[in-house]
Each structure stands twice: as C-alpha cells, then as structure tokens.
Structure 1
Amino acid sequence: MVTPLDNPFWSALDSIHGGIALRAGDVARYPADYAPFLGVATGEIRVGDALDRLVAPGESVYLLGIAPALPAGWQLKAFRPLAQMVCDAPLAPMDGPEIVPLGDAQRADVLALTALVYPHYFRARTMDMGRYFGIYRDGRLAAMIGERLGSDDHREMSAICTHPDFNGHGYARQLTTWLTNDTLAHGRQPFLHVSYENPRAQGLYERLGYRVRRDIGFWSLRRAEAASRPGTEAKA
C-alpha cells in the first residue's frame, strides 16, 4: 500500500500545497520560485500532455518516490536513492541559544545562508512552503531549519544547515530536536531525506532518534530544448 511518505512531492502538492500547485490532472509541480519539484499520482498514468503543459523546453525538475513512463523528448536521470528517515517519539530536549521564527524580515539572511551551504533546491519563495526557524549569533544567521513537504499527518524537516563559521556548537542538533518535538506535539510525524553521500548527517539524525523508513528513488527530469522552426536557422 502506497502512503503519502512513499510519494512525497505529489502528496504535498495534492494536500497542504494545493493552493500553490500548478496542476494538470494527476500531475502537479511547484512554481519554479518555490521549488523545482514535480509529482505524479501514480507511475501508471499517461503524462505526456500534462508534462508539456507544466515543464518548459530545456527545463529540469525533480521526482521523488514515483517516476512515470515518459514519452519521447524527455530525459530521466536516476540518482542514488535517498534515505527517508522518520521519528516516532519525542527527542531529549537540548539547551542552547534562542530559536526564532524566520519570515520576510529575515528572508535575505536565509537566502544568503542557503546559497552558501544548501544551494541546490532552495528558491526565493521556498520559505512560503512552511515554517522556518533559526538561531542568530552576533547578529548573523548561524543555523536554520524549516518545513517543506508534508501532508495532513506528516511534515518534512528540511534546510537543516549551519554557517561554516558556527560549526561545532550543536545548533543543527538543537534545531532538529526542537522542530521534531514541536511537530510531534501537533500530532504529525516528522520525516526527512538525507543522501547516503552524507553519512555524517545521517549519523546525527540516527543518534537523535530518527530511523530509516526506506530508501526512496530520486530522479531529475529534463525536457528537450524546443526544435528550431523551419526557416529560423541562424545565418553564418
């Protein structure tokens, strides 16, 4: 039985993010300034017309959990599966600096930090997908965490990152512990995704109390560039 966690992009776009989803039937995506993610309801649906409407020529998007069969003109590249981890019980609280909400007033700080240490999937409006929190030290955003994907019963811990100048203080552990416990207190299961190329991070989450639920497939999907129309070839 497929659960929302087995198809995270689609589950979020079909529930908590339905208001921002760009949708064509059983295919949906985030606007590019939110996230480069696309989801499909199942792997069996015909997606050609929907993809043509949702993805521009030459554009790349990402799929997680489920990938459909594709028509000609599309390139699907498989990455190594990610570890999908969940937390089932509250974590031992940690002391540390004040944790503050991050909003529009802190957006420039967030974008600067993510551009430095979390650059691949964070966009100008990713913060609008959920709640974000951070720790400031000496007037600088030292570390942050946020919510990104989710459904009625789940929330993803995301953008867990620390500025290199503030490594070694336990800020990522403090933030992850705090938001995990807050999520559980609201009756939702926390989950996250981590690359197996980042064993340090996976080890941190395991020590905190997360467990690997499953390996989950991860792909990039690229639409071919539009073919030139007859008579429009460049002249030498």
Structure 2
Amino acid sequence: MTSEETAALDDPVGASLRGLHARLGRRIGRAASYVPDVATFSSVSADPAPEDWADLARLLGPGAFADMFNCPAPPPSDWEPVFVLEGRQLVWPRSGTPGTAPVPAGTDLVELGADDVPEMLALVARTEPGPFRPRTRELGTYLGIRDRGVLVAMAGERLRPPGWTEISAVCTAPEARGRGLAGRLVNELATRVLARGERPFLHAAESNTGAIALYERLGFESRGHVTFRGFRTP
C-alpha cells in the first residue's frame, strides 16, 4: 500500500471537511470544524501557523472544546489540554472480500434513520463507543440490529476522506454480546463501501485490544499509531 493511497488518512477530518462533508462543517481560513450537533472534530493545516489557531479559536468560540483527532502540532500554550488518547488506525487491504453471516434468529439488520436517533443515543450512552451527537448519523449510513424490536447493536459511516469511508460507532449492548453482531455490522458496511469503489478504514483506542483483534480477524490491517487530543480554546 503506497503512501499516495493513504495520504488522505493522515488528516481524515480536514480531508472530509474539504470534500464530501463540507456541507456539515464550517470554516475560517485554514481552520475547519463540524457543526456541533454533528461532531466535535476540528482541523487546522498540517503545518499550522499562529493565525490558523487563532482562526480555529474564533470559529469555535471562547472556552469551546476542540477535538483535534490526529493533529501532531500543539496549539498555543493558552489552550487548555482536556485529554490524550493513544489509538490505532486500521485499513482494508487492496484485495479481499468481507465475510458474510446471517443475523441470529429473532434479530433484524436495519438501516437507521432520524426516528431512531433517541435509541441510538441511548445505546451509545450505555456502551461508550466514542463521540456521537444528535446529528452524527447524517455523516453516512448507520446500520443496527434489533432483537425483538429493541436496538442492541449498531455501526455506521463517519469520516469520508477521498477514496475512503471510516466505520465508526461500533457498539453492542452488554446483554447481546458474544453473538457476532458487531462483526456482522462491520462486514456489511465494509461490503457497501467497497461496492461504491471506496475502501473502509477505522480507528480504535490502543487499549481496546478486543476491538483491534476483532477488526484484524475481519480482515483489516493496522496502518499505524494515532494520537487523539482534545483542548479547550482560550
């Protein structure tokens, strides 16, 4: 896999906001961010100047949260650190087809829409798969598995840098784990992404060894280490 193929994954937030997700973002100069109800992610240039950070602070407002995803450049010293999380980026290889398996008896795989948002938010609150906002589902397709009508697992599309789609919000209710539901959803999304000529990728916390092992069993390969950082603007 060449560096040219994966270059957009070095700054997937910025690449998404310059392209398919421009309609869901806002921008001042080289600073960009999603609208708050969609996502908390923000981006500056790969080599930010002081004015880029000033533009981002103006874009977000005073005392606002800036989730810098995988930005290696530190902000000015008056930005308050909020968190640091070490993670892993995994990508689908050039070849290979995702596996398929039927959903367990008594369950249904469904596409989730606006009417499902309250249940999606409730599942996220129980399982904590990562940032998820009231309008996050507008980033792409979200699929769920219902067990006797109750939403017990979901996954969806998040960042969309050119040629790629991130699979995210992979979560399963505690009482439904061990049934292969997360893998079924990831495989279905990966199949759909590949069918439209893109390649899937995803992120996991480095400490979440179970998730990383699952993604590798499904066929994803580790591309490298990433560091997620959050700050609060002055």
* TM-score of the superposed pair, with normalisation by structure 1: 0.88
TM-aligned CA deviation for residue 82 of structure 1:
1.1
Q: Is the 8 A contact 1:43 1:66 kept in 2?
A: no
Q: Could you tell me how far apart the structure 2 residues matched to 1:62 and 1:138 are?
A: 37
TM-aligned CA deviation for residue 104 of structure 1:
1.1
Aligned positions of 1:71-220 closer than 5 A: 71-76=76-81, 79-88=84-93, 89-96=96-103, 97-118=107-128, 120-220=130-230
Question: Which residue number corresponds to residue 71 of structure 2?
Answer: 66
Q: Is the 8 A contact 2:13 2:161 kept in 1?
A: no
Task: Using the aligned pairs only, state the percent identity.
Answer: 33
Question: Which residue number corresponds to residue 27 of structure 1?
Answer: 31
Give structure 2 stretches of 5+ with no counterpart: none
Which amino acid counterpart does residue 29 of structure 1 have in structure 2? S
Question: Which residue number corresponds to residue 49 of structure 1?
Answer: 54
Which amino acid counterpart does residue 220 of structure 2 have in structure 1? Y
TM-aligned CA deviation for residue 112 of structure 1:
1.0
TM-aligned CA deviation for residue 52 of structure 1:
2.6
Q: Could you tell me how far apart the structure 2 residues matched to 1:22 and 1:67 are?
A: 22
Cα distance 1:32–1:190, how it changes in 2: closer, same or farther (>3 A)? same
Cα RMSD after superposing both structures? 1.8
Larger helix percent: 2
Q: Is the 8 A contact 2:82 2:229 kept in 1?
A: yes
Q: Could you tell me how far apart the structure 2 residues matched to 1:171 and 1:82 are?
A: 23
Which amino acid counterpart does residue 114 of structure 1 have in structure 2? V
Which amino acid counterpart does residue 212 of structure 2 have in structure 1? Q
Q: Could you tell me how far apart the structure 1 residues matched to 2:57 and 2:66 are?
A: 13
Q: Could you tell me how far apart the structure 2 residues matched to 1:213 and 1:76 are?
A: 27
TM-aligned CA deviation for residue 132 of structure 1:
0.4
| Larger CA Rg, structure 1 vs 2 | 1
Find the residue that maps to 2:24 and give its secondary structure: coil
Q: Is the 8 A contact 1:45 1:68 kept in 2?
A: no
TM-aligned CA deviation for residue 195 of structure 1:
0.6
Give structure 1 stretches of 5+ with no counterpart: 225-236
Q: Could you tell me how far apart the structure 2 residues matched to 1:80 and 1:136 are?
A: 31
TM-aligned CA deviation for residue 93 of structure 1:
1.4
